[in-house]
Every structure is written in C-alpha cells, then in structure tokens.
Amino acid sequence: MNKNGHDKIQSDKTRPFEGVTIVEISTSVAGPFAGQIFSELGARVLKVENAVGDAARGWGPPFWEGASAYFQSLNRNKYSVVCELRDDAQRSALVDFIVEQADVVIQNLRPGQMETLGLDAQTLMALKPSLIYCNLGAFGREGPLKDRPGYDPLMQAFAGIMSTTGEEGRPAVRVGASLVDMGTGMWAVIGVLCALMRRMQTGQGEVVDVSLFETATCWVSLMAAQFLASGEVPQRQGSGASGIVPYRGYETADGEIVIAAGSDRLFQKLCQVLGCEQWVDDARFMNNESRVRHQVELYRLIEEQVRLKSTAWWQEALEATGIPCSPVNNLKQMLAHEQTAALGLLQDVPGTGMQFLGLPLSFGGERPTPRFAPPKLGEHNDLLKKDESKS
C-alpha cells in the first residue's frame, strides 16, 4: 500500500509525478481538469471543497454513482476535503497542510477571493518560497476585464470562436466540447511543469497565470493570422476550413462524410473518384487559391455527386485512392470503434462501474490508468487533521 492508502497498481513510467502533492482549490471544469491530469500521472491531489461541494457534482442528469457524470469524469484519483475557507480554524489547517506538504496550489476562484482569504500566491509563497502557485482566471491578470468572471461559452463568444463556427447566414454556434475550459486546464499543467523544472534548478517557486480568454485566443490564432495578413474577417465555414478547399463535410445518401483533399494532387484524385475529371482542367479549380475563390461553385458540384451514394461506399472508394476522409461519427459510434479499443482509450475505474476516456498520451506504449474512484464529498477530511504523534 502507498502512503495514501491505495494500492500501487501502475508502473512508475506512467506515474512520473508520484511524490508530488497538489492542492486544488477549484470548481467546475478548468481547474479540476488540470488537477486530474496530474492525478492520472501519479500526483497526490487534494481537492478542497466547501460544505456544498463542487458545483459540478450537481450538473445532471445524468448522475453516476452519487454525482453527475461531469464531476466524475473530471475528478478521478483525488482526495476530497471539506474546508470552509472563511472559517479561521479550517483555513489555518489548510495553510498548514500547504506549507508542510504541498508542491503546487491550483485555484480558479473568482478574482480577489484568494487575496481576501489570505490564500493568494504572495501570502503563501512568503511562508513557502518553493511553492508553485497556479491561477486559472477568466480574462487574465491584467486589463479592464481582469476582475470579471468567465465561462466556456462566454469565452467562445468573446474570443471569436463562435463567430467562425456554424453555417454562413445562420446564428453563431458554440463548439459542443468545452475546449476553452479543458484547454485552459492543459495550459495550467504545461505552466506548472515548466515551473517544476525551474524549481529543480533553482529551488524557487513560481506563480503561473493562465486564463480562459488567453486559451481561446490561442485556439483562433491561425484564423487571426489570416485576418492580420489580409484584413478580411474570417467567416463561418461550416465543417470546412478557411483557406483550404476542398476540405469539409458532405451529406451522403445515408449520412455524412468529411473529405480532406487539401492539395492539388489530392484534388485531382478526388475528381477521378467523383467521375468528374474535367474539373482538373477547369480554370476555376486549377490550384488551391483559385479553388478558395470559387469554393461556393466547387462545393455545390461536389455535394451533388456525394449525395448519390452511401457513406460506406465513399469511404471505401476514397481510402482506396489515398484521399483522407472520415464518416461523421456520433459518440456511441466513436466509443464502440475498434480503433478506440485498440488504443485502450476507454478505461474502467477500479472499484466502480464507471468508465471514462483516458489521457491522450502513453509512455513506452503504456497509457496512465485510473487508480481509484472520484471522491465522495469530504471523504478524506482526515488529511487536514494534525498528526499529534509528530508534535
């Protein structure tokens, strides 16, 4: 058994952060996702909650073994302690734990709360200079909006993601996945990793700042570059990509398929598969630049052909010719696919009936796997109690 009372069931290569202790004072998605990446990689993650618990516990239905599927999917391998941060004694116990045991603090509370409570980076790092402190904010640490709260759909709207998502002439659409929240969690991990590496060299801690807005601007950086180069505001592309044609999805006789024929060579092959070889010599479609300028006409012509046959027929014909393509799978189809199974992406959680998608990385062919279930609220409150035998 390890020091946290759980069997060590993974090899060390998939748990590089074993021995690192992280205190996660966060709710919802971004902070918990950052904490879970570390916990999946072997760190001990102490999740600090109030008496009601992380709001995500109630984000259902569906619920799964005592909490929402949202919460369970973001909080594996963690230890939950209830700590009312406005209670002096409980807050003092948390500070003692951080000073004595924590390597990293991750927090995403509303701007100003941690300073009011005396749990901010400056205060804690004065007590423990080697501490790494990560702020996950909404709009960033500076600027006129720095004190405003933020959520994934707000940032998709504010940063321009929604303005380029959906079909032209129709209302803006949010990307269904919480890519801004989860992306911010990833950037938090990257920042903390850099700070941990620096601490190995200097012994000094660091403050890491990431935010939803900064993450969202990163995700539109390619389209922003197009605007900066041309002065033309990118428009909604549906399933396509600005600047590359043909490169989008089409309706088939029984579903949808995405075809990525983004080079002259692939376009020529696509023309052959479609039985429209004459397009190769059409001045409107001679190269990518001309295809982009005449994409409305070209896409209309391709759509007319693709509708005539089934998704499976097109997939077989396109793949046989070396043209990249994919059916538009729903989540049930993706989870049941043999490629998902071959990679071991869908993972069981020991001691439960839950299954989740694992981290998208492997070490020497071995993917990190869950060690124990998401915690019940306050399940590990004893971790904040003083060990009197060491007094």
Catalytic residue annotation: 181
| Burial 147-168, CB ≥16 within 10 A → b, else e | eeebebebbbebbbbbbbbbee
Question: Residue 121's closest CA among 211, 209, 213, 27?
Answer: 209
101: number of Cβ within 10 Å: 12
Q: How far is CA 24 from the centre of its chain?
A: 17
Instruction: Please report, for the chain, how many H helices and E strands are present, in that order.
Output: 15, 13
Three-class secondary structure assignment of 80-99: EEECCCCCHHHHHHHHHHHH
What one-character DSSP code corresponds to residue 373? P
SS3 state at 306 = helix
CB-CB contact of 325 with 315 (8 Å): yes
CA 60/CA 66 separation, integer angstroms: 11
SS3 state at 64 = strand
Q: Which burial class, exposed, middle or buried, applies to 328 when counting CB atoms under 10 A from its CB (0-12, 13-18, 19+)? A: middle
Type of residue numbered 372: F
Per DSSP, the residues of 13-46 read GG-TTTT-EEEEE--TTHHHHHHHHHHHTT-EEE
CA 295/CA 284 separation, integer angstroms: 9
Type of residue numbered 272: Q
CA 77/CA 317 separation, integer angstroms: 45
Question: Residue 102's closest CA among 133, 137, 136, 135?
Answer: 133
